[in-house]
Amino acid sequence: MTSHDERSARAQFSERYATPSAAVSHDIERRVIGAVWGVNGYTTLEQADEIGRLLHLGPGRRLLDVGTGRGWPGLHLAQTTGCTVVGTDMPIEGLEVAAQRARAEGVEDCATVVAAAGAHQPFRAGSFDAVVLSDVLC
């Protein structure tokens, strides 16, 4: 069952994801993150790469990216390490962008998105080798 807080957060982020990013936002992301993803947080490219190293991500490893939004950093990690990623979040609008980005980045075969609240993941224990929550509060 979806709580009032989850419905409120979904509505807020759905509106945010439906609004196109301004050029100034892209400039800020490029300077702060090192890439343009239309994100709501500021995990840098360098930090994302370090996450991949610390988690020993690579081919055959499964990563759960909780609160993936538009796919950052999960899709980046799939592309750079060869891991398989499942990104979860509540707003469908963000997940649609992530799925489009996966196709554009050529990682659609190893990337999946699932609508799920951070605290209510629909997976069995042990389904993933690693979990990331980048700029997310659950």
Joined tokens for residue 64? 């759960």
- The reply to whether 75 falls in a domain is yes
Q: What pTM does this model have?
A: 0.83
Segment 43-59 shows an average pLDDT of 95
Q: Is residue 64 part of a domain?
A: yes
In a domain, residue 11? The reply is: yes
Residue 18's domain spans which residues? 4-132
Residue 138 lies in a domain: no
pLDDT band (50, 70, 90) for residue 111:
very high
Amino acid at 77: L
- 96 in a structural domain: yes
Tokens 């979806």 sit at which residue? 2
- What's the rounded mean pLDDT across residues 21-33? 80
pLDDT band at 71 (very low <50, low <70, confident <90, very high): very high
d(CA 36, CA 30): 6
81-101 per-position pLDDT tens digit:
999 999 999 889 889 999 999
User: What is the Cα–Cα distance from 72 to 35, expressed in whole angstroms?
Assistant: 10
**Is 137 contained in some domain?**
no
**CATH number of the domain encompassing residue 65:** 3.40.50.150
Q: Report whether pLDDT(61) > 80.
A: yes
C-beta of residue 86 within 8 angstroms of C-beta of residue 64:
yes
Measure the CA–CA gap between 72 and 129, rounded to whole angstroms.
18
Give me the pLDDT at residue 8, please.
75
Domain-located, residue 82: yes
Residue 115 within a domain: yes
| 46: phi then psi, degrees, rounded to nearest 5 | -60, -45
- Total number of domains in the chain: 1
Determine the average pLDDT of the residues in 24-47: 80
